[in-house]
A and B are shown apart, each in its own frame.
Chain A
Amino acid sequence: MKLSRRDVLKGGVLAGAGALLGSEGNRLMAAIQGSGPDGHDSYDLAQPENILYSQCLQCNTQCTVKAKIQNGLLVKIDGNPYSPMNLQPQLSYDLSPQAVAKVDGHLCPKGQAGVQSIYDPYRIRMVLKRNGPRGSRQWKAIPFEQAIQEITEGGQLFADIGETRHVPGFKEVFVLKDASLAKALGEDVSEVRAGTMTVEDFKSKHKDHLDVLIDPDHPDLGPKNNQFVFQGGRIGPDREVFAKRFTFNGIGSVNWYAHTTICEQAHHVAFLWATAQWAVKDGVGSWNKGTNHMKPDYTKSEFVIFWGTGYTEANFGPTPMGPQVSQAIVDGKLKVAVVDPRLSKTAAKGWWVPVAPGGDLALAFGMLNWIIENKRYDEAFLRNANKAAAKAGDEKTWSNACWLVNVETGKLIRAKELGVGNETQFVALVGGRPTAVDPEDEKKSVVGDLDVDTTLRGMKIKTGFRALRDSVFEHGMTHYVEKSGVDQATIESLAREFTAHGKKAAIDFYRGPIKLTYGYYAAQAIIALNLLIGNIDHVGGFAPGGGAWDSMGGKPGKPFDIGKMHPGALKPFGVKLTRESSGSYESSTIFKRDGYPAKRPWFPFTDDVYQEIIPAAHAGYPYPIKILWLHYGTPVLSSPAGHLQIKMLQDTERLPLFICTDIVLGETSMFADYVFPDIAYLERWGNPMGTSPVTLTKTTKIRQPVVTPIPEVVSVQGEDMPISMDAVMIAVAQKLKAPGYGKDGMGSGWDLKRPEQFYLKMVANVASGDKEGDAVKEASREDQDLFLRARRHLPRGVFEPAKWRAAVGGEWSKVVTVLNHGGRFEKADKAHDGAFLGHTWGKQMNLYVEPIGSARHSVTGKFLSGVPVFQELTSFDGKPVVFGSEYDLALFTYKDIFGGQSRTISNYAGQMALMPENFVYLNARDAKRMGLEDYDTVRLEAPGFNGTFNLASGETVTVQGKVKVIQGIRPGAVAVSWSFGHWAYGSKDMTINGQLVKGEPARSKGLVPNPAMAVDSYLKDVCLTDPIAGDSAFGGSRIKLVKVASGASDRESVHTGD
């Protein structure tokens, strides 16, 4: 090998460094210089001291990753070989990080491109304050300390640009500070809601403190603290615990949100209620929501239906699913059917069922119809009414399919009502005889009659199963054929195949079938299909996943009980701004005032009704707000009809202070008053988390800082740290003297002045295990040494070993073990256990959902249903949604494998190079009919939407894109993928400190279809929404395409050959 000048120079540097630092220094220098001491060029990325484990967040699958550092910079991301997400089966946890350095696990293309998300030239480094009207793209950078001062104190913050209004600071919302007063008020509000205390009594009892309330006449709205709204987008699960601590227990506001209703909430909500457990406490029973996700056991299944999802593009996600599912299919062990209007990459691997967009409920009903009619369900399973019956029937789970329901009230019959037991027991007919059912009873098995429709004691009664059956048979098969767009033969063969594999079949579904106003019912219907074959917990069946180690430390024997380590914690109370999880409308004082229809809907069964936050704030219903903190989200871009929120965000009256944490100035944060830079996913901590049920073994993933942060490092009360969500919370809380921060913030001797003081304790909980003897091994000296060396590039303020160690005290060396592995991973052989999964649900499943079946729609006042019912698209007033006949195309959307929501446009080598712009996909038949050809530009128009909308500064955005004519899409449908169509995120020019910063036009290519999605005709300012799950309707909209330009030149330039 030739010795170049560079090598010689390097040698010199090395020699010098070696002399100064001794042999260890020499080795280190060699690694830093990238050349081995023997003069050879080295492959730095294979050396353990250049490797750190953390977690991806290019999409929400949040895979475990192996980050590789060269010259102090992140240059490569691979899969963590210890983790079942990246290697299947994974390497033994006992192998040292040195040993496994040369084994890389796999990662999807977004994960691979993550370097460019971290290193995006448009990343924000300093706090930006708007220097013109909201949305003017005029900014000035201000010191962090000043920004914190301004947002806490408030004042005439924009006087310098001619806005003389008073802007409220956190001080004005942090009004109720006394924990015991908060508790007392909260308890009495519950009394008011329960009807056991009048508002007048409440007012007189608390007459000295009425000033802390938003409206003393409506004490159930809660304290003024609720006027601070934390709109977290992708906050969970990685910094959820930290942000909740701040919002709920630090500031005392109920208004903490994630973005789940623009994501897949109906799926989650349907699962949460289908798995809800009946818990009896002090003689009172209540339903506790269960788990939000189950997945087929792909490795052993014989038949899986991917219903509006897949294993190759989105879902949870290609990385953990890809190898298993691919192998099973090619081995001929697994057959897959894919219900999707487009030939997705998954559909390409199986039996494609091109359902009409939104036709899924009908399809599910068609299948249910055939299965019930032909008795292809697992009757034995469905008749098991409690745990004892399940045991006897060699099952792990049971269901309430044969429990009796009062048809009129929608309530399950209590044993007391029929005189066979008490108020916390249910009833099934056993051979026609009412029998009390105690779900958890392990001894007295109840095997009920399944198909019951009768009258008892004057009550019209059915079993849950019968209710479902009646709902399904309300319409005939032809109806479902028509509405689903799937022919009868296909529906039947799908149903037949699904029921032809015993328990070794399952349906995986995600966003596809549920983003509709009847999404909850569609989800419930698909869960019912799984339930009908009783596949839960069986090998090859439906799996709840391997679970995770507890990180909150609530269990005995854990080192840190995080929830309790909060002296003076406020207990927030009151109705949430979105009226979600805030009890029934009927129990509120607002109902007493307004009655039906509610001005805006209430959502007692769900959470995170994201698209409703800003419209509700704008409407001032149920109360006006003062401060909105948008974190890690861009509702304007990502929600259907989100563009309607632009005007609302510009209204400084109804939205007095608007702050954001973002990594780049985004489509929504561009309208903020203050934008704080945030640390990105490989620069920060996250609370330890589990993974999706795709992984059948116990898994805890850890996000930890592995990269030098891009945001400025600032001093917060004497502690250095990069500006971030965490830093802003720590700074504001300390400034306000809010409980739980600063010295002894987590209890005597445990400060909360720095983020890792919080997160590391959770890691320690994971390290200590869930039971005796479950702790990880302590890190050896060598591993501790590696731990330090591998972090040598991290700056002060991020990595200060002494501070990290102090955050967990004696737990340190176990914490090191977990961090050195990027989490905790159970042995792969724990996935299965005989005929069952290794980790089972082992609990009740609900075919009939009582809380929903017995509740009313807050706008129409009509009863909801405990079993799925067939519906079509409706607005909140219950009216069917109609589109003019010229809107003849059904719009739907999906995610490409390389696109991670709205934030991967900076991935030049990934998203941009793989597909510089997205397309408007059309079937060739439609294209021909409309005279459209490849690369023609079309504008999307919808009722009330002419294809364009305005941004603040008079700029307009047109929703238009290029046509791609394909065969792999259902005629009559139009697909537009996500992740494109930016008008911020570095795509446009802006001014900072008077200087022009050019945007990069390539980032604005393609289109986002969301503005063409239908608006609810009752509310008029928000998209169509599912009244139960609060889920936004990305489906159901009909549009027309207007040709804007011919694509002739594009066609010629590319397709010369054919």
Chain B
Amino acid sequence: MNRNAKILWAIWALLALLGGIGLIERLFLGHRLAAYTSYVPWGMWVAAYIFFIGLSAGAFLLSSLVYVFGVHKLERIAKLALFVAATTLVMSLLTIWFDLGHMERNYEVFTRPHFHSMMAWMVWLYSAYFALLLGELYYALRRDMKSLSAEAIREDDRKLKRLATIGIPLAIAFHGGVGALFGTVSARPFWNSPIYPIMFLVGALLSGGALMTFIVASFWPDKDEAWLDLLQFLGKIVLGFLLFDLLLEWAEFSIPLWYGVGPEASLVKYVLFGPFWYVYWVVHILLGVAVPIYLLAAKRDAKSINLASALVAVTFFAIRLNLVIPGLVTPELKGLENAYVDPIGNHLSYHYVPSFFEWQILMGVVALGIAIFYLGRRHLPLVPNSTSHEVSK
């Protein structure tokens, strides 16, 4: 292993170790170490969960461009995209599972269905989506793992197309639905927005696309012309979604800000100028928008695209944090913040900064995601010519 790889492995090991400790703490101490509260009941894990699920949906939709719409340019990354979609879905589900007060009861969503609950729908849809992803992966990969007749491959292709076709509305439904999960909470003015489902979709395509771009840029076996071409194409997609997302965001923020009054306005102000202003301005706008636009629009070389897409993918998490948390930080009844507090665990507060423990769980999940990806990349025929590449390693 070269030095860089060693460092990377060390980082991974550290993530895995801290995550492991976090896991143990989670199992024995429940939620006590978490910093989210009863008033900010959803914290970083929920943000991470919708972030990961967005990545999954985005990657999946990218693969569907190939399987459904036959966009040949992307054919070479379709399998990889499917696999990334599955990996991030696992990460997402794991994160939200840890977030449950009673993890052992998750099956109840099936045994006690509540059709009016957006959350129940989400769970059912993911489950369906997960099954579908596994199916698609199966049909997409088996041709590379054992020799199949051309007829069988064609049959698989048809199946793939059918599955991917079902998958598109499913992905749109569940991810738009995640938006609806928030958007339908009429008690929360910040979330209670009809634009959310759309924003979630665009966000998914953006973040998922960026992640795929980053992966292609970083882990592609042969960095040839075709690869650069592919990369630039992906870069354009990312740029396009980035600009579109920005437009939606502008709409979302500028309307309440126009007169500057009302709870939405103050929450938007909270995002822009509150104690965590830097999350918006530095992390999101500077690192997640300005720099990538510059890199994608002006530079366009492989390195720039790599960096830009990495930035977009990672900083998109900030957008997710800025969605979940501000929706919760204002008392629904003014004065509630001081009426009764929790002097022991501070769990009756409107002030939320993720605790280290929450980061730990996140690290663990990321470490697991990396491990899955690594193993998949190593043992599954996800990218063309991967065999030769594997050997050379």
Q: Check: A749 CB closer than 8 A to any chain B CB.
A: no
Q: What is the distance, in angstroms, from B6's C-beta to the closest C-beta of chain A?
A: 40
Q: What is the distance, in angstroms, from B352's C-beta to the closest C-beta of chain A?
A: 9
Q: Are B344 and A908 in contact (CB under 8 A)?
A: yes
Chain A neighbourhood of B266, CB < 8 A: 1056-1058
Question: Which of the candidate stretches B65-73, B334-342, B366-374 sits at the interface with the other chain?
Answer: B334-342
Q: Are A1056 and B350 in contact (CB under 8 A)?
A: yes
Q: Are A1053 and B351 in contact (CB under 8 A)?
A: yes
Per-residue CB proximity of A525-555 to B under 8 Å, as 1/0?
0000000000000000000000000000000
Chain A neighbourhood of B351, CB < 8 A: 1053-1054
Chain B neighbourhood of A1055, CB < 8 A: 337
Q: Check: A459 CB closer than 8 A to any chain B CB.
A: no
Per-residue CB proximity of A892-928 to B under 8 Å, as 1/0?
0000000000000000100011101000000000000
Chain A neighbourhood of B331, CB < 8 A: 1057
Q: Are A1052 and B343 in contact (CB under 8 A)?
A: no
Q: Are A1054 and B274 in contact (CB under 8 A)?
A: no
Q: Are B337 and A908 in contact (CB under 8 A)?
A: no
Q: What is the distance, in angstroms, from B187's C-beta to the closest C-beta of chain A?
A: 14
> How many of chain A's residues touch chain B, expressed as a range?
10 to 19
Q: What is the bound-complex CA distance between A1054 and B350, given in angstroms?
A: 6
Q: Check: B354 CB closer than 8 A to any chain A CB.
A: no
Chain B neighbourhood of A73, CB < 8 A: none
Q: Check: B275 CB closer than 8 A to any chain A CB.
A: yes
Q: Check: A1002 CB closer than 8 A to any chain B CB.
A: yes
Q: What is the bound-complex CA distance between A937 and B351, given in angstroms?
A: 19
Q: What is the distance, in angstroms, from A213's C-beta to the closest C-beta of chain B?
A: 55
Contact of A1052 among B267, B274, B330, B341 (CB under 8 A): B274
Q: Check: A196 CB closer than 8 A to any chain B CB.
A: no
Per-residue CB proximity of B316-332 to A under 8 Å, as 1/0?
00000000000001110
Chain A neighbourhood of B329, CB < 8 A: 1056
Q: Assuming A1056-B329, A1056-B350, is B275 touching A1049 (CB within 8 A)? A: yes
Q: Are A1054 and B344 in contact (CB under 8 A)?
A: no
Q: Are A1054 and B275 in contact (CB under 8 A)?
A: no
Q: What is the bound-complex CA distance between A1055 and B331, given in angstroms?
A: 9
Q: Are B275 and A1057 in contact (CB under 8 A)?
A: no
Chain B neighbourhood of A1052, CB < 8 A: 274-275
Q: Are B263 and A1057 in contact (CB under 8 A)?
A: yes
Task: List residues 265-323 of chain B with CB under 8 A from any CB of chain A.
Answer: 266-267, 270, 274-275
Q: Are A1057 and B330 in contact (CB under 8 A)?
A: yes
Chain B neighbourhood of A916, CB < 8 A: 341, 343
- The SS class assigned to the B binding surface is loop
Q: What is the bound-complex CA distance between A1057 and B338, given in angstroms?
A: 14
Task: List residues 1004-1058 of chain A with CB under 8 A from any CB of chain B.
Answer: 1049, 1052-1058
Chain A neighbourhood of B343, CB < 8 A: 908, 912-913, 916, 1002
Q: What is the distance, in angstroms, from B96's C-beta to the closest C-beta of chain A?
A: 26
Q: Are A914 and B350 in contact (CB under 8 A)?
A: no
Q: What is the bound-complex CA distance between A1053 and B350, given in angstroms?
A: 7
Q: Look across to chain B and name the residue whose beta carbon is closest to the beta carbon of A914.
A: B340
Q: What is the distance, in angstroms, from B263's C-beta to the closest C-beta of chain A?
A: 7
Q: Which of A1002, A1052, A1054, A1056 has the most CB of B within 10 A?
A: A1056
Q: How many residues of B contact A (CB 8 A)?
A: 20
Chain A neighbourhood of B275, CB < 8 A: 1049, 1052-1053
Q: Are A1054 and B338 in contact (CB under 8 A)?
A: yes
Q: What is the distance, in angstroms, from A319's C-beta to the closest C-beta of chain B?
A: 21
Chain A neighbourhood of B270, CB < 8 A: 1056-1057
Q: What is the bound-complex CA distance between A1057 and B351, given in angstroms?
A: 12
Q: Are B342 and A913 in contact (CB under 8 A)?
A: yes
Q: Are B337 and A1054 in contact (CB under 8 A)?
A: yes
Q: What is the bound-complex CA distance between A916 and B331, given in angstroms?
A: 19
Chain A neighbourhood of B334, CB < 8 A: 1057-1058
Q: What is the bound-complex CA distance between A922 and B270, given in angstroms?
A: 27
Q: What is the distance, in angstroms, from B105's C-beta to the closest C-beta of chain A?
A: 15
Task: List residues 736-779 of chain A with CB under 8 A from any CB of chain B.
Answer: none
Q: Are B330 and A1056 in contact (CB under 8 A)?
A: yes
Q: What is the distance, in angstroms, from B324's C-beta to the closest C-beta of chain A?
A: 15
Chain A neighbourhood of B349, CB < 8 A: 1053
Chain A neighbourhood of B344, CB < 8 A: 908, 1002
Q: What is the bound-complex CA distance between A1058 and B269, given in angstroms?
A: 10
Q: Look across to chain B and name the residue whose beta carbon is closest to the beta carbon of A1050.
A: B351
Q: What is the bound-complex CA distance between A1052 and B343, given in angstroms?
A: 19
Chain B neighbourhood of A1057, CB < 8 A: 263, 266-267, 270, 330-331, 334
Contact of A913 among B263, B274, B341 (CB under 8 A): B341
Q: Look across to chain A and name the residue whose beta carbon is closest to the beta carbon of B342.
A: A913
Q: What is the bound-complex CA distance between A768 and B69, given in angstroms?
A: 99
Q: Look across to chain B and name the residue whose beta carbon is closest to the beta carbon of A1002.
A: B343
Q: Look across to chain A and name the residue whose beta carbon is closest to the beta carbon of B330.
A: A1057
Q: Look across to chain A and name the residue whose beta carbon is closest to the beta carbon of B273.
A: A1052
Q: Which of B266, B267, B343 has the most CB of A within 10 A?
A: B343
Q: Look across to chain B and name the residue whose beta carbon is closest to the beta carbon of A1005.
A: B343
Per-residue CB proximity of B343-365 to A under 8 Å, as 1/0?
11000011100000000000000
Chain B neighbourhood of A1056, CB < 8 A: 266-267, 270, 274, 329-330, 350
Q: What is the bound-complex CA distance between A1054 and B37, given in angstroms?
A: 13
**A–B pairs, 16, beta carbons within 8 Å:** A908-B344, A913-B340, A913-B342, A916-B341, A1049-B275, A1052-B274, A1053-B350, A1053-B351, A1054-B337, A1054-B351, A1055-B337, A1056-B270, A1056-B274, A1057-B266, A1057-B330, A1058-B334
Query: Which 5 residue pairs spanning A and B have beta carbons closest together?
Result: A1053-B351, A1057-B330, A912-B343, A1052-B275, A1056-B270
| Residues of chain A whose beta carbon lies under 8 Å from any beta carbon of chain B | 908, 912-914, 916, 1002, 1049, 1052-1058
Besides A1002-B344, A1054-B338, A1057-B267, 7 more A-B contacts (Cβ < 8 Å) are: A913-B341, A913-B342, A916-B341, A1002-B343, A1056-B267, A1056-B274, A1057-B330
